Amino acid sequence: MHFAIKHSFVALAAVLASLAVTASPVGPHTNSTLVDGHLGKRAPQTRLNTAWELARISQTGKLTTMGTDKTGPKGAPARAATLDWKFPFDDTWGTGVIVYVVDSGVRSTHVELAGRVETGWVLDGLGGVATDDLCNHGTAVASLIAGTTLGIANKATIVPVRVADDATGRCKRVPSTSDDVTAGINWAVSDYKTRANARAGIINVSWQLYHTDASKAAITAAITNNMHVIVTAGNDDQNQCFGETAPLANQRVQDVGQIIVGNTDWNDNRRSVTPGMVGSNYGDCLTLFAPGTSITAASNVDDATVTLKTGTSFAAPLVAGVIAALVTTPPPSLASPITPGSMKTFIKQSSVSPGITGLNGSPDRLLQSPLISMTSQ
C-alpha cells in the first residue's frame, strides 16, 4: 500500500503549452544552448512546489530543513511527503529527447505526463496497450524523468515499453522477466534508429534485468547507436557486481557503457533493509547514487494522484532526467559531440561526494542537476 496524495498545480495550463522541438540528426549530440555556464539569454526558473529529491540533487550539501521527526509514511520524516521544495530548472529541458521507459507501461493521461507519451510497444503475450500500467510502477518512473512538477526534463517525450503486467504475474519478481526486459531494450534500439530528427535517445530500465549474455548484447547495441542506458542497481541489499544466475553466476558484471544507479535516502544514506522497506544493492560497479527513498511520483490509479515510492527503480529515472536536460542545454565542459561514454564520464565527474553511509565498496557519488541552487534547503 502506498501513501497517496493529490496534486496542487500552479499555472498548469502554461506549463503544458505546446512544445517547440529543436531537432538534430540521430548520432552524437552537439553543444548549442549553454554558453559559459549560462543558459544563453534565458534566466533559470525555479519550481516552487516540488519534492525533496529534486531539491537534493540541486544542491551540493545535505538537506538541512528536512527535520528528523519520523511521522511520515514508513518512518520517513513528515516533510519527505510534502511538495513545498524548490528546484531550479529550465523549461526547455528534454526538448527533442526520446526516453524509452522499459517497465510496466505508463498511464499517458496522468496530468504529470499528458500530451507527451507515445503509443509505445507491448511485449508479445501481454495484451493491452503500452499506456496501461497495471503494476503502478512505470507511470511513477516516467513522472520522475519528465513530469511537469515532479520530473526534471518536462519537455521530453516518453515512449512506454511495456514488459510486465499483473495479469501474467510479471509484476512479481521472477527470473523470466530478464528476457522480457532484454526484448524491450532491443525494440527501443530498433525504434530509435527510425527517428532521424531526435536530439537524443535514452533507455531507462527500472525493471529486473539479470546479467546475461543477451542483456549485455542488448545494452551494447543501444550504446553503439548513441543511446544513453540507465539501469537500476536492484533492491536486494547485496553486491550488484556479479551475475545472479547460471551460467554467469559469480562472474563480474561487464561495464559496456550503462549507468548503474543505487538508492539513497533524505540523509544521504545508502538505503538498507528496514521493516517495510527495500535495500539498495551496492558495489564498485555502480556508477553513482541518486535519491530513491520516499520519492513522490505519479500514480496509476487516476490522472492526478501521486504516491510515495522507494527503491532503486525510482533513483534511476532521476539520472535519466538529468541526462535529458544535459543534452538539451549542455555545459561547455561536456565536450561535443556528446556520446554515451562522454555523458557517463560527465555524470560521474559532476556528481558530489557527500559522505554516503553504507557504501560497502560503492562510489561515494551522488547525482547533481545541471543547475545548482545558491540557497540550501
Which residues are designated catalytic?
103, 137, 313
Environment class of residue 5 by beta-carbon count within 10 Å: exposed (0-12), middle (13-18) or buried (19+)? middle
Q: Check residue 330 and report its DSSP letter.
A: -
Cell of 215: 542483456
Contact 259, 287 (CB under 8 A): yes
Contact 236, 270 (CB under 8 A): no
Q: Which residue is listed with cell 511521522?
A: 71
Cell of 171: 509484476
Look at strands 85-89 and 45-50 and give their pairing: antiparallel
Residue closest to 347 by CA, chosen among 366, 374, 375, 361: 366
Instruction: Give the distance, in angstroms, between the CA of residue 204 and the centroid of all CA atoms in the same chain.
Output: 6
Cα–Cα distance for residue pair 83/232, rounded to 1 Å: 25
Q: Which residue is listed with cell 517495510?
A: 276
Task: Specify the amino acid at residue 141.
Answer: V
